[in-house]
Amino acid sequence: MKKAVLCGLLILPLMLLAQKKKTSAAAGAKNSYSALTKSISKGQVVYQKFCLTCHQVDGSGVPNLNPPLTRTKWTLGSKAILIHQVLNGSHGTVEIDGDTFHNTMPPLGQALTDQQVADVLTYVRNNFGNKASAVTPAEVKNVRAKTK
């Protein structure tokens, strides 16, 4: 009987600790999801103000002028390339997934903060049929520092 009570007293703290870790992990996942949702929501506002005219409501772009943002290697690929594109724009011809686009993209580095660039790219990478990791302000800051 004493052994059973002693085992129970030893195991109880371990069970409580395991439950606390489980609850903490669930809270962390909820906070992470909430942060992603907020970033996407704020990114949609930026998209509507700066990107929608050229890339369209559905992200389909305009053939031969403005590239689509729907499941392309640029949208789903390297975050650094995408960040650089938003910060510095482009001039001349751009080829994306075998299609050529000729319209100039204005640089938005002066108009947008690191947070806004991160939000709009997170929005784009998680809409229009896309599912990719979020872009962080720290990643934008890093690319911005390298392109000055």
Asked whether residue 90 is assigned to any structural domain, the reply reads yes
Asked whether residue 94 is assigned to any structural domain, the reply reads yes
Asked whether residue 48 is assigned to any structural domain, the reply reads yes
Asked whether residue 71 is assigned to any structural domain, the reply reads yes
Asked whether residue 8 is assigned to any structural domain, the reply reads no
Residue 120: what are its φ and ψ, rounded to 5°? -65, -35
What CA–CA distance (Å, rounded) separates 124 from 74? 11
Asked whether residue 49 is assigned to any structural domain, the reply reads yes
- Token representation of residue 26: 């669930």
* pLDDT tens across the length of the chain (148 residues): 555 544 444 554 544 455 655 554 555 556 677 899 999 999 999 999 999 999 999 999 999 999 999 999 999 999 999 999 999 999 889 899 999 999 999 999 999 999 999 999 999 999 999 999 999 999 999 999 998 7
What CA–CA distance (Å, rounded) separates 72 from 143? 21
Domain that holds residue 142: 37-146
What CA–CA distance (Å, rounded) separates 143 from 84? 7
We report the CATH number of the domain holding residue 83 as: 1.10.760.10
What CA–CA distance (Å, rounded) separates 20 from 17? 5
Asked whether residue 54 is assigned to any structural domain, the reply reads yes
Number of domains observed in the structure of the chain: 1
H or E stretch covering 109: none
| Residues found in the chain | 148
